[in-house]
Structure 1
Amino acid sequence: MTKLIKIISAPLISLIFLLNMSSAVMADTTVSAEVGFIFNTLLFLICGFLVMFMAAGFAMLESGMVTSKSVSVICAKNIGLFSIAGIMFWLVGYNLAYGIDPGGYIGKFIPWADGSKIDTGYSDGSDWYFQMVFCATTVSIVSGTMAERIKLWPFFTFAAILSGIIYPIVMGWQWGGGWLAEAGFSDFAGSTLVHSTGGAAALAGAMIIGPRLGRFTKSGAPAPLKPFAASSIPLVTIGVFILWLGWFGFNGGSQLALGTATDAIAVSKIFINTFLAGAGGVMGAAVITRLHFGKTDVVQMLNGCIGGLVAVTAEPLLPSPFAAILIGAVGGLIVVYGTKLLFSLKIDDVVGAIPAHLFAGIWGTLIVPATNSGANFSTQLIGVLSVNIFVFVVAYIVFSLIKATIGLRLSKEGETKGTDVTETGVIAYAIRD
């Protein structure tokens, strides 16, 4: 009898225990300060890993978009700029952004040092790492735009200035508690602070260095595709998929906390909206190229994905899923027509970074008040104008100085042979007779 009671009662006791545990979990959405510290730190590190993996996506995308004679240099540029950005962000960048006085404009030119305390909610090292990979992403945007005619070491020089000084200053205006934060500007994960910053710098560089030889005809139309054909569309596609994956870290990690159920739900919503905005960008570009140009342009679809992701980055938490699709779809349309605009201006953007990051970033930042009642259009416009004008002007000056001193562009002979031959001496794709 006793044995029978035990058999019957054991499952009941287990069920009651589980129900009690479930109620406790549902009722208690907070943890101790130390456990919250651990979860928040883990969020930064895991999402930072995802954002770092975006570097592989950028390398693949750019390698696939350039011609086959310039692939090795793209690889050198991408691993080099990531290394430079990390060193410069440790040396001066982090404290230029976070060492700023409330409502101020610039921080302190001192190296980062770890001062972690449980009271801050996360380890300083995890925050440095997470913010560093954002910085490196900004520099990656410039790389592809100026491909196939810029010298390697002048680009590295600009990468050091962008990652060590220009980006940290504008980052500090908002995320460091500077004057834009005081004004009420809203940019959740960096549509303007990261993507428009990289796009504005890329635009300045493209205007200074000029288009590739023979890229445009005298009438202004792009030259026939064949001499400038992408080396590998499959590589571009894989690169975009990697970027899309990395974007979950980019946006999800910007919740900055995972110590409560509310934060976990928020990160999940951000993941959904991030995915849907990217999908909206893909299909927006697919539909419009089919309707307007008669063919479905896969390159525009791929860049449309990036444009959609950039657009939702300014506010990935508050839009409904349907709104996220629409925001992303408009980002995709902006990429298509932004590319057409650059062609008309004879601005040569090899990978389409300016429409995808600068133009779509502006759109995403300005549409924030539509879903975030705490933001207003005038403040968003002030933030967009101030960041983009500042970055463009400073980048234009820096590129001009580099051009006037150590030189910026390859010689005509070097450009004709290809940057792989002239800059690295390493040929990516062997030519077989």
Structure 2
Amino acid sequence: MRRPQGLRGASRFVGAGLLDQLVIAAANSANTLLGGILLPKARFGALALALAVGYLAMYLNRAVVGDVLLALASRYDGDPRDRLACNGLATALCSGVVTTAVFAGLWAAWPSRGQIDLRELIWLAPFMVPIMLHDTARCDYLADRRPDKALGIDLVWAGTQAVLVALMIATHHASAGGLLAVWGLGATAGATVYLLREKRLPWRGKPLAWLAETRHLSGWFTITAIVAQFHVLAISFTVAGRLSKIDLGNFRFVQTVQLQPVQNLVTAISSLVTPRASRHAAEAAKPGPEGTAAAATLRRQTRRLAIAFAALGALMVLVVWPVVSYVLVHTHKFAEAAPLALPIALQGAIYLVQVPFTAAMRGMHQARGLFAQYVVFAVVSLSGLALGADWGGLHGAAWGLLIGSATGLICMLILYASTVRRLGPPLATPTPARVEAPQNA
């Protein structure tokens, strides 16, 4: 399989990867943006909760399959990589089936009244299998350094979704359930194109073989994703429970407009950098000058990206924050959410600075360290959210989350510095000098 060669090939590689993330980000964020515009605030809050649960399931599957493909399969070519991809698809199929059953059970058993409304979840249930398969297909292409192919199936997803949303708006049938359904239909189209193009049948893979071969990564990635996604879910539930569904709608809308593009960029960069960092880390373990050079390359790559993203984060705060604040103030529907623009902009800047270090840690297979860092971040941010909500309402909650993000960055820097110091070929054990026995005269 041909790889990008030279500067021109590298530019195409990065360009396709960033464009791919832009497309999939548009497909994922369209529900929230359109829901905030087209739906009453109370119904938009219900849509936001259903999406939070859907993203929880999708990202848990990514932890078990997608993130492992990026960090592990990127080190292989040919049959070993194809075997990993096939077994990963089978695992994604199983997780989709289980998720469908769980969502149907939640819809049937959850109370229909109250602040926390999960009635819209039933619209996602039929589409969780293709959503899982599509997400795994993207990671397969990215791990194989083929972002142009990932871009192709994501364009199918986004294009299908756009056509169906246009029909919904034209016929005046916009609803929370309809937006969720067209999101799932887009994923179905994209996953179908991947399976036909690659001629892969998910049920032919071996989920147990996948779990056995990748448990040193998938276990820690999974538990980290569980903490991460329950952290995201806890934020939505805490805001809705302690404050109101309207506050949740305000909060999620500003996050979608201002923070989600940053998170999408972070995901794109991580997906592109992690496979490269993984190869450098594997080469760094080789003895001799080759290993030393690979270790130095990984350090240099991380340092340069961190400087670039720190500058980008500062620019974002200086430009995006006043623009978003101005637009919100001059809208009737979300004017009260304008003070959220500054803490959310600062939070996005922190995420940008952190992404090179996170990608390097993934590439070095430091899954346990990533888990420890996220636990600290989640505990501090949720505590800050709860205390801030009690003391200052929604605005206090946003500043409390910012404190958690800053704490997470500090922990990541400490862990990276400790890990990268040990990166490189193992030191050769000195051979003891042979001591000659004295000769008897």
TM-score of the superposition, structure 2-length normalised?
Answer: 0.33
Greater relative contact order structure (CA < 8 Å, 6+ sep): 1
More helix by share: 2
